[in-house]
Structure 1
Amino acid sequence: MRADDLVPLGRTGLRVSRLGLGLASVGGLFEPVSEERAAATLDTAWELGVRLYDTAPVYGYGRSETRTGAALAARPRDAYVLCTKVGRLIEPGGPDTQPIWADPPAGVGPRLDYSYGGVLRSVEESLERLGLDRVDVLHVHDPDEDFGGAVGEAYRALADFRARGVIGAVSLGVNHAPVAARFLREAAAPGPDCVLLAGRYNLLDQSGLDELLPLCAERGVAVMAAGVYQSGLLADPRPGAPHGYRSVPAELAARIEALRRVCADFGVPPLAAAVRFPLGHPAVASVVVGARSPEEVAGSVAFLNHPVPGGFWAAVKAAGLLPEAAPTPA
């Protein structure tokens, strides 16, 4: 398994690299990123074989989409899959501001809008910021913010785009697996093609396995697993490190320490195990990781390409660190 292996994105007809690049960081997630550094990050991802890129209007209030489009403008359009999101419009005085964005553009902010017309406007404005003629995958972003509007009008707008061939796939971008499972069950047929699941199927949280992933496998819905590093918790579990825990709960710290011991026994970096684990599930097509520098992209590629010895996953399960039901990579 390599980061640049291309695989089908479920039933969509699209093909994606096993490693995708999430582009919140180049929009200024938590700390500023210069235009030059953002461009170098995307260029390095391309050079290393990444062909799946995921952005959103809310990432830096349009900044991520603008930088993504500029970096991809010279690339062959049919050689990569580009995802963005709907559900928030970026406009003057938008009230749904988020403190996680460093130095966002002045005077604008997001406003939640899952209406049919809002989705049409969102896509039009995303294409303008991207400077591209199409988006391959559109996620309904955070549908739990207005579930009725998201599963109703927003989904209907995206389904119409799909039926007309304007986009290749309808998807969800979610942080909560039960929300995605409910959406798949309630959306009008044929339903979404994909789910971008953040933080709910990784070495520390397998809650996506309870209902969502089996449902996706049953329906042929492709999953893109994000948040696999748990904001760096596996790399540096110290309190106050960038993962955001002021005090890491004792039970969680013990699990991380036990996992790091198994990794050391087999010579597997913890982040290599983290980026590989989700790909053992048949519904998971790709793992999407964030990066704010060329070095971080190169590190994630190296982690996914790192060989994992036979017996490693069995040892992880034997230590009680994964449920027996969790599929693991071959």
Structure 2
Amino acid sequence: MQPDTLRRVGQTDLDIPVLGLGTCPLGGVYEAIDEATARATFEAAWNAGLRLYDTAPWYGLGQAEHRTGRALYEHDRDSYVLTTKVGRVLKAPRDRASFTPPNWAGALPFEHHHVFTYDAIMRSYEDSLQRLGINRVDALYIHDLDRGYFPSEEALNARLDDLEKGGFRALEELKRSGEIKAIGAGINERGMINRFLDRFDLDVFLVASRYTLLEHDIYFDEIARVRERGASLVVGGVFNSGILATGAVDGAKYEYGKASAAVIERVRKLSDVARAHGVALPAAALQFPLAAPEVSSIIFGAVKPSEIVANVGHFTAVIPDAFWSDLRGEGLVHADVPLPVAG
């Protein structure tokens, strides 16, 4: 399968490439990325045939959107798919002299306000267009509405209520008017797909790290419900924050932290099967999710051109069916989870 192969998003008329670039790392999630390196990484992505780009106001507090826009705006707008996110509004800090941007390295000097009202969603959308310098995006994702950012049930429900009372109406208006083609939600944790579907008619979920070669329990409950609703998934975080790219090396990262002994042991077993078949573990991680018919696309992050080249190579590598069969036989993938087929 080639990176620009198209799949339909849910019941919309939006077709998206099966492989895309996520721009969170280029916003400085791990380290500050200089402008020349960021631009070279985008150029490598375009030259490698990537035509799906996902960004967000949160990534580098506007930095990733600015960089994405500068990289894309000279290309024919109909030649690529562009998605961003809503739910955060960026504002200049009151005390500009002493302000230090939180959470990001090399971020822009703005405060973020995490809100889901009608006005906030509309402002978030319009501000994103301005930062991008591109006057159309194809889909908007509701961003980080989960317990990671709203730990108490009271706080989480209050934000879901804000979305239900106004913010989602804004998204529906944007879709109905043709401003966007699809409405989605970014999901970081188990259970949130169901909570969204209890309240909202969504076209697509961008699922980070929860449907990967390492962990895929959600196929049997949450993804099943996505399928019943006729929606789709875009899968990010296929390397589980690093360990499926590096293998079980010293200091391997899982969920942005140190991997547990149980996770390391499971990855070692995956690596043993991969080695026996001459398969690169990152290639298996990139190709696994697309076997599920509910998955429209995979996005991965990169901070330098060589990572683009390596991951596109992994994505297009031929993996023998015997590798997948052996993973199933070793109990490393569930018996009923779809697996890729060579060719």
Which category of TM-score, normalised to the shorter sequence, fits these structures? Answer: over 0.9
Check the 8 A contact 1:20/1:288 in 2, yes or no. Answer: yes
Where do 5+ consecutive residues of structure 1 fail to align? Answer: none
Corresponding residue of 2:112: 110
Q: Measured at CA, do residues 94 and 199 of structure 1 come closer, stay the same or move farther in structure 2, by a change above 3 Å? A: farther
Check the 8 A contact 1:140/1:172 in 2, yes or no. Answer: yes
Corresponding residue of 1:101: 104
What RMSD over aligned residues (CA atoms) do the two structures have, in Å? 1.8
State whether structure 2 residue 191 is matched by structure 1 residue 178: yes
Check the 8 A contact 2:21/2:302 in 1, yes or no. Answer: yes
State whether structure 2 residue 72 is matched by structure 1 residue 72: yes
- In the TM superposition, residue 74 of structure 1 has moved relative to its aligned partner by 0.9
Q: Determine the C-alpha separation between the residues in 2 that align with 1:61 and 1:127.
A: 14
Check the 8 A contact 1:181/1:212 in 2, yes or no. Answer: yes
Aligned amino acid, residue 57 of structure 1: P
Greater shift, 52-61 or 33-42, is seen at: 33-42
> What secondary structure does 1:83 align onto?
strand
Corresponding residue of 2:236: 226
Encode CA deviations 1:269-298: one digit per residue, 9 max, x unaligned: 000000011001110011110011111111
Give the count of matched residue pairs.
Answer: 324
- Equivalent positions of 1:277-292 (< 5 A) are 277-292=288-303
Corresponding residue of 2:227: 217
Greater shift, 21-30 or 271-280, is seen at: 21-30
- Equivalent positions of 1:196-275 (< 5 A) are 196-234=206-244, 235-243=246-254, 244-246=256-258, 248-275=259-286
Aligned amino acid, residue 68 of structure 1: T
Q: Determine the C-alpha separation between the residues in 2 that align with 1:79 and 1:120.
A: 26
Aligned amino acid, residue 181 of structure 1: N
Aligned amino acid, residue 285 of structure 1: S
> What secondary structure does 2:334 align onto?
coil
> What secondary structure does 1:102 align onto?
coil
State whether structure 2 residue 135 is matched by structure 1 residue 133: yes
- In the TM superposition, residue 133 of structure 1 has moved relative to its aligned partner by 1.0
Check the 8 A contact 2:247/2:281 in 1, yes or no. Answer: no
- In the TM superposition, residue 232 of structure 1 has moved relative to its aligned partner by 1.3
Q: Measured at CA, do residues 122 and 93 of structure 1 come closer, stay the same or move farther in structure 2, by a change above 3 Å? A: same
Q: Determine the C-alpha separation between the residues in 2 that align with 1:100 and 1:208.
A: 29
Aligned amino acid, residue 139 of structure 2: V
Where do 5+ consecutive residues of structure 2 fail to align? Answer: 151-158
Greater shift, 141-150 or 313-322, is seen at: 141-150
- In the TM superposition, residue 94 of structure 1 has moved relative to its aligned partner by 8.8
Check the 8 A contact 1:4/1:19 in 2, yes or no. Answer: yes
Aligned amino acid, residue 167 of structure 1: I
Q: Determine the C-alpha separation between the residues in 2 that align with 1:112 and 1:60.
A: 15
Aligned amino acid, residue 313 of structure 2: A
